[in-house]
Structure 1
Amino acid sequence: MTLRTGGEVLVRSLVRHGVTTIFGIPGSHNLEIYRHLAAHGIQHITPRHEQGAGYAADGYARTSGRPGIALVTSGPAALNAAAALGQSYSDSIPTLLIAPGMPRNHAHHGLLHETRDQRAVFAGIVGELAYRVHHHGELTEVIAEIFAGFTSGRPRPAYLEIPLDLLSLAADTRIVDPLRVSRPQPDPGQVVEAARLLARAQRPGLLVGGGAKEAFHEVKTLAEHLRAGVLTTTNGKGILSEEHPLSLGAALHLPAATDWLSTRDVLLIAGSELAPTDFWNGPPTWPPTVIRIDIDPAQLLVNARPTLAVCADARPALAGVRQLLQASSEAPLAHVGSPPPGAQHREELKRQRQEEGARWLPWLDALAKATPRNTIVTADNAMAGYYGALGNLPSHEPGSFAFPTGFGTLGYALPAAIGAKAAQPDRPVVALSGDGGLMFSCQEIATAASAGLSLPVVVFVNGGYGEIRAEMAEAGIGPIAVDLPVPDFAALAVALGGRGVDIATPDELGPAIAGALAHPGPTLLMVVE
């Protein structure tokens, strides 16, 4: 007989599933979990706010492909992390939020951190992936189920609630091994049909999203064989290096991008929900033939109805199509007497990207020159992020640009960068934020300092909420609550254990970035727009 408390069952089950890092804050109700972390070799990083724990777990998962784990206590702590879970759900990121809940058979009489139905709150965010367990065996089984879901289909975040009394109660429990699961494979007949359609295309194109991150090699080789341009969504940025001659970048909202899409005769879409938050101004006019590959059957008909819908993991589906095309004795029609594909659109896209991001372009160019190609960038929902970096800061690897699209949260960049650096300690990580967004999570400077993380944080200062200020002006509303006093960010950084440097010109930014990457701690680099 092996007696284990609920806290030990949880920790052993996480370790069994490969968890090595947790972002969390201890509290009165989760101490029985903390009792077992060190003994099982789990690295614990302590954000200064539970929302920061959730964003750090998200950044960890986005940039590594491994699930990110956030651990909080009950009631207000769990609710503080809800926004981060919403962001992960919106962008299909495999994170797990763990929190204790009220004891089993609890009557609502004012217990500390009491919430009437904590699980129901999170069910409103992640649906059926919000779990409350009732005994030790169910706990280890649910963890196996959650991790199987992370790898077998469209990754979505999960919430796990463990009753407070279960954490300290011991029971004879066998820890469940990870489930062996497979992702859906493509139907061979559909692969043949997709290859046939693409072989006959004269103006083929690829549009790839975050669901194709693991298919980066297949995207590249298929595009090269077809001589087809490649557009990506925000979450797909970097799947094909943006210096590749076939890359058209990630700024789907620009007119040249939607024009290019509408002028394809065959468009292959892989791993994208085609969200309005990618197109901004409505979807393009879709080509006459659309091939859609998605691991989620519920997504295949949403936002665009395809000619051919392939429910499968993008990697084997694209590999199968490429192999059939390469085995064919006939070259695709796109090869016959055609100039380099997409040259006109590529130049027009570049012009539109630079025009849109002109305010930030010198700074972004300096950043690109000062950082290695494998640098990870986390960006906040700031104007410098979506007007500037999205289109004008090249990415060369999948998962190297983490941006909170969809849900559109603020305060993401800094804690997500902490998570990214924890996941990829040997890669440079840079955070981009506005001054308004940074104030949502500036306390995480202390987290990065305590962990000794080399982390440049470039802060574009426009004196408040610049986007909302512009929207108010466009709507004929006088500026209300958008012009905010700018604090002394350099002094704030020092007070929290980091460094702060005011940057006057783009020429100063490059050396400052290099110095920040070499410094064992966070450095705020303030740029006035």
Structure 2
Amino acid sequence: MDARTTRLPSPEVPPEPAIESVAEAFLALLKDRGIENFYVGAGTDTAPIVEAYARAGGRTDRYPNPIVCTHENLALGMAHGYYMVSGRPQAVMLHVSVGTGNAVCGVMNAARGQAPVLFTAGRTPLYEHGRLGARDSEIHWGQEMFDQAGLVREMVKWDYELRNAIQVEDLVDRALTIAMSEPRGPVYLTLPREVLAEPAPDLSPRAAPAIPAPPAPDPRAVMSLAQALTRAKEPVIMCTASGADMRTVDALSALCNRYGIAVGEARPRYVNVPSSHPLHVGYDRGAIFEWADALLFLESDVPWIPGKASPVPGTFIAQAGTDPAFARYPVRGHRCDLSITTTVHALIEALDVALRECGAEASAGARRQRLSARAAIIASTVGERIGADQAQGGPITKAFLSTALDAVRPRDAIVVNEYSALRECFTFEEPGCYFLHPDVSGLGWGYPAALGAKQAAPDRTVFAVMGDGAYLFANPAVCHHASAMHGLPVIAVVFDNGGWEAVHRSAVGIYPDSHSMRFAKSHEESSGMAPLCSLDPMPDFTRYAEASGGVGLRVTERSRLEEALRRAVAVAEGEKRQVLVHVIGRG
């Protein structure tokens, strides 16, 4: 026989075993619905899930990729971070009531950050005996609650319990539909062990139900907004979380250029507009409020802090977003002349048409001239302030760290910031490069979210920039372990100023000429902080990274910082190893 026609026998691929249990049907349905990762903090309740993956024999195409998480905050944070970058919801399963309790902080971050996480948890076995999966450990009495879902009910959009095999498809689809409906957010589903162990239902998945169309703006409201912006001499669009939809970044930039509307950012959690936009008037809300005569806030849950700075009386104020009243916030009394329920993308499209109909282009030139002059002055002032920090020497500051990070980061790098990176020191031109913690500020969000971001974007460099308190709350040993276990070489940058600066600032802010301030001044040579704020003596954070096979770098001098950050990038990109840069600073 001609050697060119010889056929070697094909290796036999074992047939895919039939689905046998509700656990297997549940996992297969998640995969069918586009869930790529299943973040798991395992417990006795996950026995049917463990068996399901074991029966799959290592196949990775049938069920979501299992991601073992050794702390609940890690699991919720990674799912949150993956969604931020990918736009696709992920699933979490934690251990009954105790795991749910540990996850509350992460659930709050997901809720306020509008992250649609499918959060599931086992439930203590229902039966004391007589059923497969019934109670077989003392903890199954101690861990049971009358209302386990009550731990998270205020923060999730929906909660329910899987009660029978025939409900699997209905409940998974219900959960995902509600999570992805605007405004998006987490949902909670409990999974009793006996139900997971039941024989599987007939599973021939139907087409996934349609997600409800997002809200579109009312045409009359849009026209009112367009008229107000056209009449204004110095209108400003203020953004907080509009960049969560990455399509809006270029669209908003073009709209502001076309009609001569300034753009500012109110504690931005995303890249909402390119930093170099010629009408970008910065991040200081109080300064903007002094001259702006019309303000449109986009997806801004806290548009201003009344005790610090408020718009001038008579200024036109509009608020827009998928829930512009932020109905789940118990108290929120910011003044508003016009409120529009809409996605930002839909509003920009509709507003473009309405502004054109109002003749806004005719007066755009004059507005553009005035606002570009303001933008240039603001940029120059910020630049001078950063330059003064660069020149003054002394301990490393947040401004110095942020400027150094911006200098060394690859342009497509992702920066996940929990407190220590100053936004005005960075130049972000592309969407999806910057993420800040939600306003609930549940500490310990940043590092897990960065790990999830790295999963979603494995070819991009990811920085997790944190304060020392945020790093400790992230359970660092767990995060470094996850980085090694799942091959996620994130660069953790920890700014160590010796304590909880936010607590210190709050105390001396409320009591400026007080015992707290005098105490801080008397301890200037050590922590320089009020009581209850200092965390000295700090551990050597580099050891955490080294214990999980990573590289630890410690920096105390300004002259060594940029070199250390460049080495961190080289190690993460070239050696595919995690890095921790422990930066000793002040302020």
SS of residue matched to 1:131: strand
Farther-moved stretch of structure 1 (135-144 vs 342-351): 342-351
Describe how 1:248-259 pairs up with structure 2 within 5 A.
248-249=281-282, 251=283, 254=284, 257-259=285-287
Write out per-residue CA displacement over residues 278-303 of structure 1, whole angstroms, 9 at most, x where no aligned residue.
78835444653223322226438954
| Alignment match, 1:522 | 578
SS at match of 1:29: helix
For residues 158 and 262 of structure 1, do their structure 2 counterparts lie closer, same or farther at Cα, with a shift above 3 Å needed? farther
2:349 counterpart of 1:319: yes
Q: Give the whole-Å Cα distance in 2 for the aligned partners of 1:522 and 1:279.
A: 42
Q: Secondary structure at the match of 1:97?
A: strand
Structure 1 unaligned runs (5+)?
none
Deviation at 1:102, TM superposition (A): 2.4
Shift of 1:460: 1.4
Matched residue, 2:270: 237
Equivalent pair of 1:209/1:236 in contact (CA under 8 Å): yes
Cα separation, 2, equivalents of 1:86 and 1:356: 36
Q: CA deviation at 1:404?
A: 2.1
Match of 1:476 in 2: 515
2:99 corresponds to:
77
Deviation digits for residues 468-498 of structure 1 (CA, Å, limit 9, x no counterpart): 3455565524534623222222233211221
Residue 48 of structure 2 contacts residue 193 of structure 2 at CA under 8 Å; is this kept in 1? Answer: no
Give the corresponding residue for 2:476. 442
Give structure 2 stretches of 5+ with no counterpart.
Answer: 1-17, 130-134, 391-395, 520-530
Matched residue, 1:130: 159
User: 8 Å contact 2:269–2:437 — kept in the other structure?
Assistant: no
Distance 2:231 2:199 in 1: 65
Residue number among 295, 299, 309 corresponding to 2:339 in the alignment: 309
Select between 209-218 and 325-334 the one with higher mean Cα deviation.
325-334
* Superposition map of 1:383-398 within 5 A: 384-385=420-421, 389-398=422-431
Over 3 Å counting, the alpha-carbon distance change for 1:197 and 1:434 in structure 2 is closer
User: What is the rounded CA distance, in whole Å, between the counterparts of 1:140 and 1:280 in structure 2?
Assistant: 50
SS at match of 2:92: strand
- Give the root-mean-square deviation of aligned CA atoms: 3.0
From 181, 184, 201, the equivalent of 2:232 is 201
**Distance apart, 1:49 and its partner CA:** 1.2
Identify if the C-alpha distance between structure 1 residues 232 and 279 changes in structure 2 by more than 3 Å, giving closer, same or farther. Answer: farther
Query: How far apart, in 1, do the equivalents of 2:263 and 2:26 lie?
Result: 43
Larger relative contact order (Cα-Cα within 8 Å, sequence gap ≥ 6): 1
Q: Equivalent residue of 2:515, what SS?
A: coil
Residue of structure 2 equivalent to 1:31: 47
Look up the equivalent residue of 1:311 and give its one-letter code.
Answer: T
Which whole-Å deviations, capped at 9, do the CAs of 1:107-164 have from their partners, x for residues lacking one?
99862662312111111332x5222232234332232223223333111111211122
Where in structure 2 are the equivalents of 1:308-387 lying within 5 Å?
A: 308-326=338-356, 331-336=361-366, 338-341=369-372, 342-343=374-375, 344-348=377-381, 359-381=397-419, 384-385=420-421
Question: Of the candidates 3, 6, 9, which is equivalent to residue 25 of structure 2?
Answer: 9
Stretch deviating more after TM superposition (159-168 or 30-39): 30-39
Aligned pairs (5 A) from 1:77-96: 77-96=99-118
In the TM superposition, what are the counterparts of 1:28-107 in structure 2 within 5 Å? 28-37=44-53, 39=59, 40-104=62-126
Partner of 1:496: 548
Q: Secondary structure at the match of 2:45?
A: coil
Asked if 2 retains the 8 angstrom alpha-carbon contact of 1:203 and 1:334, the reply is no
Could you tell me how far apart the structure 2 residues matched to 1:203 and 1:133 are? 55
Within 1, Cα distance between the matches of 2:322 and 2:387? 35
Could you say which residue in structure 1 is the equivalent of 2:132?
A: none
* 1:527–1:330 CA distance, 2 compared to 1 (3 A): closer
**1:13 aligned counterpart, secondary structure:** helix
Distance 1:281 1:355 in 2: 25
**Shift in CA distance, 62/330, structure 1 to aligned 2, threshold 3 Å:** closer
| Alpha-carbon shift at residue 465 of structure 1 (Å) | 2.8
CA contact (8 A) 1:435 1:461 kept: yes
The answer to whether the 8 Å contact 1:379/1:433 transfers is yes
Q: Once the 2 structures are TM-superposed, how far is the Cα of residue 432 of structure 1 from its aligned partner?
A: 0.9
How far is the alpha carbon of 1:243 from its aligned partner? 2.4
Give me the identity figure in percent.
Answer: 22
Q: Comparing 472-481 with 60-69, which one deviates more in the overlay? A: 472-481
Equivalent in the alignment of 1:272:
300
Three-state SS of the structure 2 residue aligned to 1:336 is helix
Q: How many residues align?
A: 516
Q: Measure, in 1, the Cα distance between the counterparts of 2:388 and 2:308.
A: 18
Q: Supply the distance in 2 between the matched residues of 1:288 and 1:491 (Cα, whole angstroms).
A: 53
The CA distance in 2 between the partners of 1:155 and 1:355, in whole Å, is 42
- Mapped contact 2:182–2:214 kept (Cα < 8 A): yes
The match for 2:143 among 94, 107, 114 is 114
Matches within 5 A, 1:107-186: 111=140, 114-116=143-145, 117-126=147-156, 128-174=157-203, 175-180=205-210, 181-186=212-217
1:290 corresponds in structure 2 to 317
Cα distance, 1:176 vs structure 2: 5.0
Structure 1 residue 75 displacement after superposition:
2.6
Q: Which residue of 2 is the match for residue 261 of structure 1?
A: 289
What does residue 6 of structure 2 align with? none
SS at match of 1:124: coil
How far does the alpha carbon of each residue in 1:6-31 deviate from its partner, in whole angstroms, 9 at most, with x for none? 31232122112211112222222113
Counterpart CA distance in 1 for 2:504 and 2:233 is 45
TM-score by length of 2: 0.80
Instruction: Indicate how the Cα distance of structure 1 residues 63 and 490 shifts in structure 2: closer, same or farther if over 3 A, else same.
Output: same
Question: How far is 1:207 from its partner?
Answer: 1.1
Work out whether residues 405 and 562 of structure 2, in 8 Å CA contact, stay in contact via their aligned partners in 1. no
1:361 and 1:36 mapped to 2: Cα distance? 50
